[in-house]
Chains A and B, each alone.
Chain A
């Protein structure tokens, strides 16, 4: 109760920004509408936020377009100065780390310690990483045939629409804005309707850091309205989306129907995690566990198909159950709690429905399998064994704390089975054998392959999906390509010399 009172006070003090951020100013929605934001641990309303829609997106795009005009402060700024602003923003996020982490916890149901250490740590590092790139995005001079001098300029694309998911509200926001800004774009961001608070707080930090008005605009709202307005917009040059594969298709379709805006998508997954009998079993069990249960299973990279080699299958299942049973569920703000709630009622119901399908289709429910507590969207850590590839729980993305463990016999078999999915986001293999490790590194159809580890992500590494897990890559140097247009400039010269 004391905690709850403290939470209320915190929310009251720190959620001053509940309106739309355009041109470094705060605006009510044009429609006058607001929407409620809930704490998934209590199902209670935290506050109401202005609900952006097409008209608000239009305003944001106008501001972003203006900030992107030739001769504007933003366009004439030194690249190194863009880097300095991003570093400044990192400093401010670091300063307000506690506030932002608490917001992620209250709004997103994320464990406070995780939010503080992992999410905020990743945010700060990503901002600094991209800050460093700002003046290192090199064009080239090109040895073109003929008497010409040819060079390329890596120019910003322009106005970028960016649609952020609810599972890592801040990290995903920063994964989007940091590369866009270091390349010199302007952005119109829509945070998820479930988790708009930390993004809006960032609005004030962006202003404080000194980004010129209109460079970053933040419009909270829903997908079918504000999100659709972004993806259909005729004056948005690029859209980046992280979320479900289902919505990813809509976005690409909208881009095709409107102005052929560039599209990058980071979508769902059903990532295989392959454990060989020669692996370090303790490490494999732990990584497989974290690879699935991290953040209540709400990760696009979740290792949700665990293929275990026959000789160690039973032992692996036994230890995995033991590990899953150790959990303390509860209010994610409380120290000692290890699993928080799912994000909302819709997800909660969907996960329980998939658990039911698993039982019905003959998988063996080893532990968990139901809701937990009398309020909030908590689900017990759930482990299924004897899962076969044709079951729904082996094919569909559950996005919850539900682990599927399958058995395999041979290398060829498991490669085929692991790749037999429409997804291709991540994959892992656990083995001490160098040949097996490198064979799988090459054979798995996934944007990220981990060997003897899982969920190891950092700003330096590109991330994205094969197949229906997405288009394009985020982070690393590769991630910058998605935010630049390459311009070839060719000048006639009197005489060429090498």
Chain B
């Protein structure tokens, strides 16, 4: 049986991970990124080298450097790793979290989670399946019974617990950021500064809502007193993706718990570690047993068990449109559970010729390449107006070539590996399709290292709307640049997609900004910016990009049933 509290000598990957010896924290000299000896592609720009020399330390590396740039927030030491042998970084339970306790899978099965920077196994995690989901649902139902501590709790106290959870995550921020990087491959600086920051803010935001999501009293015709109660939906199944494991967990937990639901959560099989660590914090924060239950496992087994469960009242899923279809279908075939979906996208980013060109190039690059391109809202169709097209393309290529790919624990790294081999292969497949269909490959196009799932920042020019790379979600560091002439034309082309998650327009013209933003069929429209997220602003998709909204006050609606109470009264008065 796989041991779930990993110490030394368990699991497959420990040899590699514990290879380093030395002090728990080391500091590399500032400004000496480890880089370069053996990157294999020849045409790469200055930033594309891959630190093969350090490859074996990837993930468990102890390197501590400063982030480049002038106003660098101070990053804490990376708390991963190791004295000589052990993996103290994984000294927490890697089992299934039900009723605030840790359980092996009923089947006793485990699965490996892989470090995408090396392709090696980090450790084994308990593999939840239908039987485990059943157990979790039972626990959740018990926690949701009338008269239970959770149901009787003051709404403000639910808020207090969420704030406490935020405090605990803040306390363990560096640790969680390191886990996130180890398991997902995203640069540590990003994990720490972006993901963890947004996680804490999201939980605090929803903490505040818990006693502020008001029902209404209603001036019903006749001699009646009429009011609404916003009651929790009940047992919520939540299926979390691997691209922002912690953040998506917070997006799901925040509104569900603020409104008083109980949760059975399946975390992505690629990235279960940080979520399991958070389970400990949920218990420490003082949530009653059964309120949050977390099951690592696979989609076709544990995920399917959730979406087709007869005793789960609502399912929320973030992931691919393909799986979104399955979830909605399973809900329909089982108990008509409520469904919210946050799915794929092929978001248009429209650059008008009057835009601030430096800023537009910068943002369009960020819009696509952020998080290794693994964003559902990635600006993956960059429409550039004819008269600035050439310049824009040239500068975008320059920028892509300068992108630093490498060890995600290196503070200079801007781009880590893709999450797993499947994604890696899929992306490379899209790149060859793009070439085959006649798009112009301007840079990149290949793996960026001889191990791990690194892909070179890739830019395609002369992309046509009909090409596969202009229609399908690539979810990788592959930028498509398309040319347009008129506003009317670009609006039509931008909307000609089955997706509708996000969109952006860059222009200095007020009329154009307003017209385009109103015309785009997308749940989020950014004007002169991209990927601006805050817990306050709702997010979700038109069309096949999803159902419902997350975040903001709107995000609460998916987690309540509205109950209308009408009482006969002797006489009405205004």
Contacts and interface: CB of A to CB of B under 8 A. Distances in A.
Interface of A: 79-80, 83-84, 87, 125, 128-129, 131-136, 138, 149, 434-435, 438-439, 441-443, 458-460, 477, 491, 493-497
B518 A497 contact: yes
A441 B573 CA distance: 10
B573 A477 contact: no
Given A442-B573, A443-B573, A128 B519 contact: no
Nearest to A495: B515
B156 A438 contact: no
A44 B321 CA distance: 75
Given A135-B536, A149-B514, A434-B567, A477 B208 contact: no
A439 B160 contact: no
Nearest to B571: A439
A105 B60 CA distance: 57
B156 A460 contact: yes
Contact of A128 (B160, B534, B572): B160
B515 A132 contact: no
B211 A129 contact: yes
Contact of A132 (B212, B511, B567, B572): B212
Nearest to B511: A494
Contacts of B214: 477
B511 A493 contact: yes
Interface of B: 155-156, 159-160, 163, 201, 204-205, 207-212, 214, 225, 510-511, 514-515, 518-519, 534-536, 553, 567, 569-573
Nearest to B201: A80
A442 B570 CA distance: 11
A492 to B, nearest CB: 8
A497 B163 CA distance: 41
Contacts of B156: 125, 128-129, 458-460
B159 A439 contact: no
B569 A132 contact: no
A133 B212 contact: yes
Contacts of B569: 435, 438-439, 442
A80 B515 contact: no
17 contacts: A128-B163, A135-B535, A136-B205, A136-B208, A136-B212, A136-B536, A138-B553, A435-B569, A435-B570, A439-B571, A493-B511, A493-B515, A494-B511, A495-B515, A496-B518, A497-B518, A497-B519
A80 B159 contact: no
Contacts of B201: 80
Contacts of A134: 208
Ranked 3 nearest A-B pairs via Cβ = A132-B208, A493-B514, A438-B569
Contacts of B515: 493-495
A327 B518 CA distance: 69
Contacts of A439: 569-571
Contacts of B534: 80
B553 A132 contact: no
A441 B570 CA distance: 12
A189 to B, nearest CB: 24
B571 A128 contact: no
A497 B515 CA distance: 9
Contacts of B163: 87, 128
A484 to B, nearest CB: 16
Contacts of B573: 442-443
Contacts of A477: 212, 214
Contacts of B535: 80, 135
Given A83-B208, A497-B518, A438 B553 contact: no
A149 B208 CA distance: 30
B199 to A, nearest CB: 14
A132 B571 contact: no
B209 A136 contact: yes
Given A87-B163, A132-B159, A460-B156, A80 B211 contact: no
B72 to A, nearest CB: 20
Contacts of A495: 515
A132 B514 contact: no
A83 B518 contact: no
Contacts of B205: 80, 135-136
A221 to B, nearest CB: 35
Contact of B510 (A133, A138, A443, A491): A491
A364 to B, nearest CB: 35
B536 A438 contact: no
Contacts of A87: 163, 204
Nearest to A134: B208
A438 B514 contact: no
A5 B207 CA distance: 44
A125 to B, nearest CB: 6
B160 A136 contact: no
B514 to A, nearest CB: 4
Contacts of A149: 514, 518
A80 B159 CA distance: 15
A134 B207 CA distance: 12
Contacts of B207: 132
